[in-house]
Amino acid sequence: MRAVLESLVALALGVLVGAAVMAAWGRDPWAAYAALFTGALGNARALASTLSRALPLVLTGLTFAVGARAGLFNIGAQGQMLLGAVVALSCGLFSLPAGLHLAVALALAGLAGALWALPVALLKLGRGVNEVISTIMLNWIAHWLTLYLVVQKLSDRVVGQRTFTAPLGMRFPPLYGELTWSFLVSLGTALFLFWFLWYHRQGYEVRAVGLNPKAARAAGISVPRALLVALLLGGVSAAWAGAIQVLGRFPYAITSDLANLGTLGFDGIAVALIGRNHPLGILGGAFFFGVLATGAARMGLRGVPLEMIQIVQGVIVVAMAAPEALRLLRRVPLPIRKKEEVAA
């Protein structure tokens, strides 16, 4: 309840600061906020669009969260998401029965995400390389590799601005409006990780290592195994985010500039912080992001410039994510300074 209260206070603060920004430039903030919520939640079709935009963010948020629970600062979801998307789409090059085709695409995408997370684990456990450095490097490798495959190998012969579209039998069936049955992947992964982290022995070990690795090691817990499990699970989750973005949303392809994949991996970090790195909280954080993304178009129709909308969104997101970000920073051990340095 304390975390919920802190989030509500942070949300109210962010809304008020955003209102002050809009009022300072002569805009009606309350009319703009009303337009935002109407555009995101005003009817069933708007709600479906909001949920559709939130689904991949649930999965990339879970990638960061499971790493944070193990004491890792895993920012590799962006690269793993890109690899998951391109591998899932590439499965359209061979023919399989409907349903099975989708299952194989998801399985191979998840495997690709786990394999892309494996070097991070090996470098961390074998050479002590900080996961922030290795994931940044792998993100860029994944970006350029995906771009090469999209432009040079998977490009549509007629529409050069995108790849070929995923076959019908490999797509998630539509549910309502923009929402497809891909919501089962995001919801199922969040519920599984909640059960795993809080009710499974290995999940307990992951959280124990994140809280105090020395105490966990003294209790007989394998710290390397816990870190490996957290990184591999995060890789699968991020890869599925890319897969459902391609197989569960229009245009069922990857654009040549990767715009429809965007920065889902990095946005997942903010989603995880808003959700306090809890799988169930991340569902709410991703829905909040979906509201902001879908409602922004209606705010623009009210005469609010795009730049101002992005400023307001950023203020609200920072306010919501700040409490958890500060909590994580407090857990980072500060270097012990010598007495001479302190006296100086």
Query: Could you report the per-residue pLDDT of 234-291, keeping only the tens digit for each?
Result: 999 999 999 999 999 999 999 999 999 999 999 999 999 999 899 999 999 999 999 9
The whole-model pTM stands at: 0.91
Range of lowest pLDDT (5-14, 17-26, 127-136, 209-218): 5-14
pLDDT of the residue at 27: 83
Distance CA 59, CA 272 (A): 10
Q: Is 214 exposed, middle or buried (0-12, 13-18, 19+ CB in 10 A)?
A: exposed
pLDDT of the residue at 337: 40
User: Tens digits of per-residue pLDDT, 147-170?
Assistant: 999 999 999 988 889 999 999 999
pLDDT of the residue at 344: 37
Residue 320 identity: M
- If you write DSSP's letter for every residue of 296-322 in order, what string do you get? HHHHHHTT--HHHHHHHHHHHHHHHHH
Q: What is the mean pLDDT of residues 213-241?
A: 96
Sign of the dihedral through C-alpha 213, 217, 220, 221: positive
Range of lowest pLDDT (30-39, 116-125, 203-212, 279-288): 30-39
Cβ atoms of 323 and 7 within 8 Å: the answer is: yes
Distance CA 158, CA 41 (A): 37
Residues in the chain: 344
Distance CA 289, CA 57 (A): 8
pLDDT of the residue at 340: 39
pLDDT at 102 exceeding the cut of 70 = yes
pLDDT at 327 exceeding the cut of 90 = no
Sign of the dihedral through C-alpha 163, 168, 169, 175: positive
| Domains of the chain and CATH, by start | 28-329 (1.10.3470)
CB atoms within 10 A of CB 24: 10
pLDDT confidence bin for 331, thresholds 50/70/90: low
User: Which comes out higher in pLDDT, residue 302 or 189?
Assistant: 189
pLDDT at 343 exceeding the cut of 90 = no
pLDDT of the residue at 341: 38
Range of lowest pLDDT (23-37, 57-71, 317-331): 317-331
pLDDT of the residue at 342: 34
Q: What is the mean pLDDT of residues 38-51?
A: 93
pLDDT confidence bin for 10, thresholds 50/70/90: confident
User: Tens digits of per-residue pLDDT, 286-319?
Assistant: 999 999 889 888 887 777 787 788 888 888 888 8
